[in-house]
Amino acid sequence: WLLGESGTGKSSVAHSISQQLNEQERLAATFFFSRRQERRNIPGHVFLDIAYQIGCQHPHAKEVIIQAIENDPGLLHSGHPLEEQFEKLVKEPLRALRFSWTKPRTIVLDALDECDPSYESQ
């Protein structure tokens, strides 16, 4: 957990940590919020992006994610309840990999304060 004033280098540290974890095959996914990029300031995109990254890393996780989407295509909508997106698209695929990945994995989130405050999940 990094905490500090704007402009103190927290994002640079998060990028460096992500790069090191990736080189060590210990990075599950990243999401860097940004006020300047519309796609990067909506909470409903976080778990979609993380699921995509996890699915790209392991075929079994990809199968779990695809099955979840086939069962409920609404999971792909950014307005879908975040708790359900997290459960079906992140938690369950990671649970399916708990014996496949030999090293612990980390998800890096940065700049949560840049998330659009007007967003409301349905």
Q: Residue 79 domain-assigned?
A: yes
Phi, psi dihedral angles at 102 (to 5 degrees): -85, -20
Per-residue pLDDT at 65 exceeds 60: yes
Query: Do the domain assignments include residue 47?
Result: yes
User: Considering the domain boundaries, does residue 4 fall inside one?
Assistant: no
Which residues form the domain of 59? 10-114
Task: Reduce the DSSP state of residue 77 to 3 states and report it.
Answer: coil
Residue 119's pLDDT is: 59
Q: What is d(CA 85, CA 89) in angstroms, rounded to the nearest whole number?
A: 5
Q: Does some domain include residue 120?
A: no
Q: Is residue 26 part of a domain?
A: yes
Phi-psi region of 7 (alpha: psi -120 to 50; beta: other; left: phi over 0): left
Judge whether 82 lies within some domain: yes
Tell me whether residue 93 is in a domain: yes
Mean of the per-residue pLDDT values for the chain? 87
* Nearest C-alpha neighbor of 57 from the set 11, 26, 92: 26
Q: How many domains does the chain have?
A: 1
Indicate the pTM of the whole model. Answer: 0.85
pLDDT attached to residue 122? 39
Has residue 18 been placed in a domain? yes
